Amino acid sequence: MATVQRRIGLLFACSVLALLLAAGRELYLGVVRSASLRKDARNEQVAVQTVPAPRGTITDRTGAALAISEPAYNITADPYLLKDPVAVAAEAASALGVPESAVLTELSRPTGFVSLAHGVVQSRAASLLALKVPGIEAVPVMRRIYPRGALAAQVLGVVGGLGDGLSGLEYSQNGVLQGITGERQEVRDGLGQPISIVTSRHDRSGAALKLTLDANIQQRTEEVLGAVGDVFHPKDATAIVMEPSTGAVVAMANWPSEDLGQATELSTEALQNRAVSFNYEPGSTFKVVAMAGALQQGLITPQTSFEIPEQLEIGGRVIHDAEPHPAETLTASQILAQSSNIGAVKIAALEGPEKFNSWIHAFGFGARTGIELPGEEAGLVPRVSEYSAVSMGNLPFGQGELVTPIQVATAYSAIADGGILRRPHIVAAVNGRSVRYAVGHRMLSAGVASELREMLRGPLQPGGTASEVTVPGYEIAGKTGTANKVDPATGEYSNTAFVASFVGFAPVRDPKLLCAVVVDEPQAGSIYGGQVAAPAWGQIMSFALPYLGVAPE
């Protein structure tokens, strides 16, 4: 009997101890760890999802879409939840249209999270999710689409996997184009199936950008540069088409071009917009600086005559013209038409270093133009204090300074627009509201600008450096440039590497359109601006002028 009572007492004590332990456990879980457990439960049952906002649409001046956004998904997986990775890899690869081996490699990783695909279109994502494979999830994102493919690729730029602009306008205007993401809470049951979805913050789309670009002129400009590439095999080329009266960029093309939206790897060269980033010695297109300064100061007229010897020595350096000639007499207009280096040096000498340097800066060289594009270079212009004994013997004809294509186009636009220098721009409107730009400032008198326009007819007339170029129905004006590049290995000017360029406008009396073409290191056919860049300029203008409704003269 005593033994039974002892057993009953022991059993009772064990029961009391178990109850005390259970009560203690309940007190610990219900009081001490209640907050963290509730948090864990919420994390298991409630998933907070980010709702991506569509980026703003980019259109050309006519409203044609250049960049749009569409819903897509990033596909992820948890390999630890997959019972048969080989079978899942086969199903996922078939649904996503990717190699099975690549999917299997990701699913075999010893981790709880892998990324299988980015920016998958809705139809493909839906076909994968319809398989209801545990551990496979689709995260909503926005996918950037460029309807015109590679058109204006370096200008538009590209968007990265996280939705931020990486280059071009997508980068410089990212704050405008990028919307505000939304947020929603998804409540799931014990099996992970959604029970309810509550939106806690609505997404807001980014602002739409309307550009000054015209898609059709852009297309034609790129086609012409492609032909330049086929014929002359240059390192690269760029072209800019502008409205001188407003500073609006109508086309900005680069060759070679690349469809950045479809590229799997993006090199620095592929992203580079050479129209704003290419630093080069301008050669003879720079001769208008000395000419404009001398005309504005009343030092010369277009008919002023200069004795042009066979060669000229300055600071121990002998200067020649491009073509050998005996001593001759040329007017200022003929110096520009025939692109005489010696003539440009003589005209700059009338001004002196200080005045000549001031005119370089008056045209905007040595400073960024301020166009709304990333990567713009400022060029390089030496200070007067840095001039050597030979500086006034090479700077006037475009050696010894660095410029960019957009700087040259802007400078010549001032001549075309009656002497008013304007900031170039490429954004016309944001969310339907026109962007207001400064009206520009006068840096040449209207009379001097008119004289220069007439003088710039010369290079395109018989005896000029681009005499074979015509734009049927229009009077045209412009200037060629052929510049030796410096050989980085020797530090001396190369005899094989050149930059060929041409910049001009039409119609001469009331210019409506300006175009600059710069071809870097042409390798076949010719190296001269009048034979490489000028014909391309003529083809672009022959399309753009009538297309824009500019009446023939």
Task: Kindly state the tokens that stand for 295.
Answer: 């005309």
Residue located via tokens 């500019």:
550
- Reply yes or no on whether the pLDDT at 6 is more than 60: yes
Cα 261 to Cα 147: distance, rounded to the nearest angstrom: 10
Residue 438: what pLDDT? 87
Residue 460: what pLDDT? 95
- Reply yes or no on whether the pLDDT at 46 is more than 80: no
- Reply yes or no on whether the pLDDT at 552 is more than 60: yes
Using pLDDT thresholds of 50, 70 and 90, give the confidence band for residue 130.
Answer: confident
CATH 3.90.1310.10 residue window(s) in the chain: 42-76+113-122+138-191+199-211
CATH 3.40.710.10 residue window(s) in the chain: 215-547
Using pLDDT thresholds of 50, 70 and 90, give the confidence band for residue 432.
Answer: very high
Using pLDDT thresholds of 50, 70 and 90, give the confidence band for residue 51.
Answer: low
Model pLDDT for residues 288-326, shown as the tens digit of each residue:
999 999 999 999 999 999 999 999 999 888 999 988 999
Using pLDDT thresholds of 50, 70 and 90, give the confidence band for residue 232.
Answer: very high
- Reply yes or no on whether the pLDDT at 199 is more than 70: no
Task: Kindly state the tokens that stand for 526.
Answer: 């010719």
- Reply yes or no on whether the pLDDT at 11 is more than 90: no
Residues 6+ positions from 3 with CB-CB distance below 8 Å = none
Using pLDDT thresholds of 50, 70 and 90, give the confidence band for residue 204.
Answer: confident
- Reply yes or no on whether the pLDDT at 37 is more than 60: no
Specify whether the CB–CB gap between 393 and 345 falls below 8 A. yes
Residue 123: what pLDDT? 81
- Reply yes or no on whether the pLDDT at 34 is more than 80: no
Residue 267: what pLDDT? 78
Taking Cα atoms as reference points, which of 145, 169, 180 lies closest to residue 69? 145
Residue 416: what pLDDT? 98
CATH of the domain spanning 42-76+113-122+138-191+199-211: 3.90.1310.10
What's the burial of 279, exposed, middle or buried (CB within 10 Å: 0-12/13-18/19+)? middle
Show the CA angle centred on residue 551, arms to residues 65 and 536, nearest 5°. 65
Question: Which range has the top average pLDDT, 5-19, 113-127, 423-437?
Answer: 423-437
> DSSP string covering 152-176, please?
THHHH--B-TTS-B-SHHHHHTHHH
Q: Does domain 215-547 have CATH number 3.40.710.10?
A: yes
Strand partners, 421: 441
Residue 531: what pLDDT? 96
For residues 141 and 147, which has the higher predicted lDDT (pLDDT)? 147
One-letter amino acid identity for 541? M
Residue 194: what pLDDT? 57
- Reply yes or no on whether the pLDDT at 108 is more than 90: no
Averaged pLDDT for residues 453-469:
95
For residues 100 and 50, which has the higher predicted lDDT (pLDDT)? 100
3-state secondary structure of 341: helix
* Whole-Å CA distances, 62 to 214, 426, 551: 7, 14, 20
Cα 54 to Cα 65: distance, rounded to the nearest angstrom: 15
Q: What are phi and psi for residue 488, nearest 5 degrees?
A: -60, -25
Residue 149: what pLDDT? 92
Q: What is the mean pLDDT of the chain?
A: 89
Element (H, E) at 356: helix 353-362
Sign of the CA dihedral 6, 11, 16, 21? positive
Model pLDDT for residues 337-348, shown as the tens digit of each residue:
999 999 999 999
Percent of the chain whose predicted confidence (pLDDT) is above 90: 65
Lowest mean pLDDT among 76-80, 98-102, 152-156, 264-268: 264-268
Residue 98: what pLDDT? 83
Specify whether the CB–CB gap between 214 and 251 falls below 8 A. yes
Task: Kindly state the tokens that stand for 10.
Answer: 């022991």
Averaged pLDDT for residues 70-78:
86
* Whole-Å CA distances, 511 to 218, 245, 478, 523, 531: 19, 8, 11, 33, 23
Q: What are phi and psi for residue 85, nearest 5 degrees?
A: -55, -35
- Reply yes or no on whether the pLDDT at 201 is more than 90: no
pTM, 2 dp: 0.86
